């Protein structure tokens, strides 16, 4: 049930028993090389593209776990996230990047800078585009960036093939071919998983031989606390109006394993205006309760046991424009 704190902010507590997940130790482990047989491939693959083209969906598909949140809101991904696919012949570390766009605030600039910086740290780049329509100005900008700055193989992934009209196939395909220098390309559907195996084959051919860099049962380099904060933010994105998504941030204030089968988490949802705070809370705390229920279930999938989730909503005016606030919230170089 919803309660109120000293500032009149509701909080929501609940728990349900589910099972699955990785431990904090697994998700925060440092890379460690493991000796494997000859011919084993390992390397880093950056997934680059404009906002909302399916980067996170693609990586989640490959990794087999939800390591990056997904929504239909642009610029959902704000930080560089690494997802790890381990198989007998290879370990592929996919690097999910914020969508490259024209930034309107300091947070946006930090996001674009972090995505661009990745280009010098990987072995292969997958440039994923909305292949159901002609290239946009953002696609052209990213294509030029790759042509100028990228010195590793680029693979062009034309996503959303299921939405491409047959009459437009040739024109759309050739238009994307023309905007970026690429070694190969593949038409895919990340949501339906069409041709993902073929795209992965194109990636593996271009990876160097090498040992495993992460434990084979690790699927991401993100701490569970970061994953939990993102899962809360995902539910806010799903449930609130269009004006809210870019203005929210979530911070984990407390994480305590009170029993082997129970974790207590306290988190704050930050917004920039009182009107946004009212929307997130909802009438009699109904919206916050809905967000809390859904987020708690997702977090329990990761930790593998009951979670007691306590949510607060507070106003942090213009946090997206303040370097100190961005640092405190974990946005920046990684």
Tell me whether strands 262-271 and 249-259 are parallel, antiparallel or unpaired.
Answer: antiparallel
C-alpha–C-alpha distance, residues 285 and 4, integer Å: 9
User: What CATH number is associated with residue 121?
Assistant: 3.40.50.300
Q: Does the global pTM surpass 0.75?
A: yes
Same domain, 36 and 185: yes
Range of the domain at 70: 32-206
- Looking at residue 104, what is its pLDDT? 47
H or E segment to which residue 314 belongs: strand 306-315
Asked, for residue 334, whether it belongs to a domain, the answer is: no
Residue 17: CB partners within 8 Å, gap ≥ 6?
Answer: 261, 300, 305, 306
| Per-residue tokens: 24 | 């904090």
Tell me: do 106 and 44 sit in the same domain.
yes
Handedness of CA 26, 29, 31, 32 (dihedral sign): negative
pLDDT in tens, 275-334: 999 999 999 999 999 999 999 999 999 889 999 999 999 998 877 777 777 777 776 554
Within-domain flag for 201: yes
pLDDT of residue 164: 93
> pLDDT means per 10 residues in the chain (334 residues)?
36 31 40 67 92 89 85 62 92 81 53 69 94 95 91 96 94 97 96 96 96 92 88 89 75 93 95 91 94 95 93 88 74 58
The reply to whether 94 and 116 lie within a common domain is yes
**The domain that contains 13 carries what CATH number?**
3.30.300.20
Total domains present in the chain: 2
* The pLDDT of residue 42: 96
Alpha-carbon distance 154 to 258, whole Å?
47
On whether both 196 and 49 belong to a single domain, the answer is yes
If asked whether residues 188 and 85 sit together in one domain, one would say yes
Task: Based on the fold, state whether residues 107 and 51 are members of the same structural domain.
Answer: yes
Q: Are 54 and 183 members of one domain?
A: yes
- What does the pLDDT read at residue 324? 77
Same domain, 82 and 170: yes
Is 270 in the same domain as 311?
A: yes
d(CA 11, CA 312): 5
Burial class of residue 149 (count of CB atoms within 10 Å of its CB; 0-12, 13-18, 19+): exposed
pLDDT of amino acid 200: 98
Is 123 within the bounds of a domain?
A: yes
Residue whose structure tokens are 């969508």: 99
Q: Flag whether 216 is in a domain.
A: no
**Final residue of a structural domain among 206, 234, 255:** 206
Final residue belonging to a domain, choices 206, 239, 271:
206
Domain end: 206, 241, 256, which one? 206
| Inside any domain, residue 27 | no
Q: What pLDDT sits at residue 103?
A: 46
Inter-CA distances, 247 with 115, 212, 324, Å: 20, 39, 16
pLDDT at residue 4, as a whole number: 36
Which pairing describes strands 10-12 and 2-4: parallel, antiparallel, or unpaired? Answer: antiparallel
Looking at the domain assignment, is residue 333 inside a domain?
no
Sort strands 41-48 and 124-130 into parallel, antiparallel or unpaired: parallel
CA distance 18 to 301: 6
> What is the model's pLDDT at position 67?
82
| Residues 269 and 235 both lie in one domain | yes
Residues 39 and 166 in one domain: yes
> Does residue 254 fall inside a structural domain?
yes
| Cα–Cα distance measured from residue 291 to residue 237, given in angstroms and rounded to the nearest whole number | 10
Helices (H), the chain: 24-28, 55-63, 106-117, 137-149, 169-179, 196-206, 224-239, 274-281, 286-303, 323-328
Q: Are residues 152 and 284 in the same domain?
A: no
Indicate whether 77 belongs to any domain: yes
The strand pair at 154-159 and 124-130 is best described as parallel
pLDDT at 79: 67
């Amino acid at each position: 049930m919803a309660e109120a704190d000293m500032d009149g902010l509701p909080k929501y507590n609940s728990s349900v028993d589910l099972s699955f997940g990785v431990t904090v130790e697994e998700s925060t482990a440092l890379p460690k090389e493991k000796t494997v047989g000859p011919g084993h491939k390992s390397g880093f693959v950056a997934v680059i593209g404009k906002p909302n083209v399916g980067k996170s969906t693609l990586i989640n598909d490959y990794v087999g776990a939800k390591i990056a949140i997904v929504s239909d809101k642009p610029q959902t991904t704000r930080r560089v996230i690494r997802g790890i696919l381990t198989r007998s012949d290879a370990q592929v570390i996919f690097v999910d990047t914020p969508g490259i766009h024209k930034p309107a605030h300091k947070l946006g600039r930090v996001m674009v800078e972090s995505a661009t910086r990745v280009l010098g740290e990987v072995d292969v780049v997958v440039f994923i585009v909305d292949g159901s329509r002609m290239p946009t100005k953002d696609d052209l900008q990213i294509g030029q960036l790759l042509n100028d700055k990228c010195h590793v193989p680029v693979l062009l992934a034309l996503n959303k093939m299921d939405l491409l009209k047959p009459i437009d196939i040739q024109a759309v395909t050739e238009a994307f071919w023309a905007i970026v220098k690429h070694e190969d390309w593949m038409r895919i559907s990340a949501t339906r998983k069409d041709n993902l195996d073929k795209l992965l084959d194109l990636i593996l051919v271009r990876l160097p031989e090498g040992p495993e860099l992460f434990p084979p049962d690790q699927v991401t380099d993100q701490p569970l606390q970061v994953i939990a904060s993102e899962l809360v933010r995902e539910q806010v994105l799903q449930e609130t109006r269009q004006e809210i998504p870019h203005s929210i941030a979530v911070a984990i204030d407390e994480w305590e394993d009170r029993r082997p089968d129970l974790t207590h988490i306290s988190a704050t949802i930050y917004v920039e205006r009182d009107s946004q705070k009212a929307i997130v809370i909802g009438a009699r705390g109904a919206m916050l309760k809905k967000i809390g229920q859904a987020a708690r279930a997702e977090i329990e999938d990761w930790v593998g046991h009951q979670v007691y989730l306590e949510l607060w909503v507070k106003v942090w005016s213009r946090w997206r424009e303040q370097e100190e606030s961005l640092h405190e919230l974990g946005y920046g170089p990684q």
